[in-house]
Structure 1
Amino acid sequence: MRHKQTIARFAGVAVGAILLSGLVACTNSDEPADAADTNTSSESSEVTLGKGGREAAEAVKQDPAVAALVPEALRQKGTLKLVTDPTYAPIDFTDDAGNIIGVEPDFALATANKMGLKIDNGKADFNGIIAGLESNRYDASWAAFSITPDRTAVVDMVSFMNAGTAIMTKKGEENGIKKEEDLCGLTIAVQTGTTQALEVMPKFEQMCKDKGLKAITPLVVPQQDSANQSVSSGRAQAMIADNALVAYYAQVKPTVYAAVPGILVEPALIGVAMPRINDSKLAEAYRAAIQSLIDDGTYQEILDSWSLGNTALETAKINPKVG
């Protein structure tokens, strides 16, 4: 996800590969695109992404116990002024009409509904959002923030999901991988230079060796679309990448790719950020709202609609210790 003051490559994946563009990626000149991978039929249109999550968020009703925690000034105002950088599909991005959509906008709406508030979700450059929160220009920000000690030193953050490395297969083959050991003996595609290639793949290879299982055959390719095409063509049985990227491809090409459920490697906490104001109850209100969504099942429904079910937490926490 996003770290420090730049849009991070959480798992070494270029953000441009997952920006909303109507297509999955440009074609790699070193390898012909798989026909299925270049299908741009209506079933893969980005405007349908996460429809169930948005519907679930819109259906959320006020929780009186959560609403009671909302700071009086916000309760009187009635609207949360939010900000994000919508360039990170499927977490935060825009549809053809310019509407901000994604898993975080769904959670922003759902939590506000729990609080009995409306939302005004604006756009800003990612690098300036934390400073904007510190100066109280915004009430909160859902912007794919990884929770770090540097950030919790200056703003409050409430955890709501994990990020990490996920596994993608050809559609219909995802259930053949139940655990990490099931990768042993398979050909696994990965983009060169990524954290998956430099750190995660070697760990998988060592795991197979330590357990006396068949060795993984790494297929290291120069571009992400080549890794995807290796899976769709059957050249590789699986691909490892940033979980957001995997979820995005599973969404835009649902008849071609699938995200393996239940496996998230080296998870890192993601949180909603807000100003640290003396005696403010907003962080506690957000914690209670997220926990209420977890408890009533809406939380999992939203994550599942974005193919991010494996990022779920059981408990929301304020400024959890990480690292």
Structure 2
Amino acid sequence: MTRTRTRARRPAAALPVRTALVLSTVVFLSACTSSAEIESEARTEAAAAEGTTTVLEVDTSPEQAGRVHTDEDPDAAALVPADIAEDGTLTIGVAGAGEPPLGFLADDNATVVGSEVDIASLVAEALGLELEVVNVAWEQWPLGVQSGDLEAVFSNVGVNTERLQLFDFATYREGVMAFSARPDSGLSIEEAADVAGLTIAVGSGTNQERILLDWNAQNEAAGLEPAQLEYFANSADTLLALQSGRIDTYIGPNPTAVYQQSVGDVEIVGTVNAGWPNTTYVAATTLKGNGLVDAVQAALQHVFEDGTYGETLDRWGLSDEAVDEPVVNPAVGS
């Protein structure tokens, strides 16, 4: 495991923003100096010429001057189990830090930053704790929580029946999947019939594969052509297949699609909840029965109410995934 300590405290002074991502929400960009910033500014000007009215600045420096901050909530802090509060640190795992915006390496190629780290930072601040971020492989986070090496995980973890047997959850986003296509595709995907006859890339053994298989069954029963599913080793191969026309669209986590759309690689042409036809949620994950989930839920409630939760989702273009309130161990549809 690679450990990155992040102080969950408001910095004394703002540092310069290094990179701007062009999304659908907007602020004017400051002067650019790097080639990446020049390209970003060009995309911003093009978006403005097309009638887009908002640009969201995103800081990729390890200092994260653009991070939203909150204050300590004494009532929430009082709920932290004594053995966890003892060292004054909340140790959280972020799995597979790679592609923005969920969790990725900052400009120093060592510090883990992203939307999941920002939510965890708010929770730590509300609990009066320092934040320690551990970059782990996806396969390692369950054992990390069970062994006590990780006190919580903030890593786009969806709540499901199997995980509820071992872990407690406090929700902070809906689990949303997005269909991405070439910007000129003309596709619009809202229901099963819209994928009939398309060639779609999808990850094997994922919720989104299960959705497409269910939709194919519906379409075949209705006399429609099923979608052809394709599987690629990584996102780079998938994007290349899309650009070359070998696939019509691919389905994956909405946050990643939001980022890819912001840099002009793709266009989001539809979304679906990961639990379709039910609603599933992304949640902070803690060891079952150790009591930490109640403190995390109270901290999330604090940042929901003071507006910093919404500001953080806006920062990363994820406001469409917002939930009304944090819930401990939500019901899972069959």
- What is the TM-score of this pair, normalised by structure 1? 0.64
Maintained 8 Å contact 1:259/1:307: no
Pair 1:101 & 2:109 matched: no
Q: Could you tell me how far 1:167 is from its partner in structure 2?
A: 2.5
Q: Could you tell me how far 1:307 is from its partner in structure 2?
A: 3.5
Per-residue Cα deviation, 1:158-181 (whole angstroms, up to 9, x for no partner): 22223242133555999x95x715
Q: Could you tell me how far 1:198 is from its partner in structure 2?
A: 5.5
Structure 1: which 5+ runs fail to align? 1-39
Matches within 5 A, 1:32-51: 41-42=36-37, 43=39, 50-51=58-59
Q: Which of 275, 285, 295 is residue 305 of structure 2 equivalent to?
A: 295
Q: Which of 106, 120, 130 is residue 142 of structure 2 equivalent to?
A: 130
Equivalent-residue separation in structure 1 for 2:270 and 2:311 (angstroms): 14
Matches within 5 A, 1:1-323: 41-42=36-37, 43=39, 50-51=58-59, 57-87=67-97, 89-90=99-100, 91-97=102-108, 98-170=110-182, 180=190, 184=194, 190-191=200-201, 194=204, 199-201=210-212, 223=232, 228=239, 239-251=250-262, 254-259=263-268, 264=273, 266=276, 267-276=279-288, 280=291, 282-322=292-332, 323=334
Q: Which moved more, 1:262-271 or 1:182-191?
A: 182-191
Which residue identity lines up with residue 299 of structure 1 in the other structure? Y
Per-residue Cα deviation, 1:44-90 (whole angstroms, up to 9, x for no partner): 6xxx98539x5564422223332333334544532212233333533
Maintained 8 Å contact 2:175/2:280: yes
Equivalent-residue separation in structure 2 for 1:172 and 1:302 (angstroms): 31
Equivalent-residue separation in structure 2 for 1:221 and 1:127 (angstroms): 24
Per-residue Cα deviation, 1:161-219 (whole angstroms, up to 9, x for no partner): 23242133555999x95x7159849985521675688654466678789999xx89957
Other structure's SS at 2:145 match? helix
Maintained 8 Å contact 1:189/1:218: yes
- Give the RMSD, CA atoms, in angstroms: 4.3
Which residue identity lines up with residue 59 of structure 2 in the other structure? K
What is the count of residue pairs matched by the alignment? 273
Structure 1 residues 316 and 211, CA, compared in 2 at 3 Å: closer, same or farther?
A: farther
Other structure's SS at 1:137 match? coil
Structure 1 residues 138 and 235, CA, compared in 2 at 3 Å: closer, same or farther?
A: closer
Structure 1 residues 211 and 317, CA, compared in 2 at 3 Å: closer, same or farther?
A: same
Greater per-residue helix proportion: 1
Which residue identity lines up with residue 201 of structure 2 in the other structure? Q
Equivalent-residue separation in structure 1 for 2:312 and 2:270 (angstroms): 15
Structure 1 residues 186 and 169, CA, compared in 2 at 3 Å: closer, same or farther?
A: farther
Which residue identity lines up with residue 104 of structure 2 in the other structure? F
In structure 2, the partner of 1:15 is none
In structure 2, the partner of 1:7 is none
Maintained 8 Å contact 1:86/1:94: no
Equivalent-residue separation in structure 2 for 1:277 and 1:148 (angstroms): 17
Other structure's SS at 1:77 match? coil
Q: Could you tell me how far 1:320 is from its partner in structure 2?
A: 2.2
Q: Could you tell me how far 1:272 is from its partner in structure 2?
A: 1.7
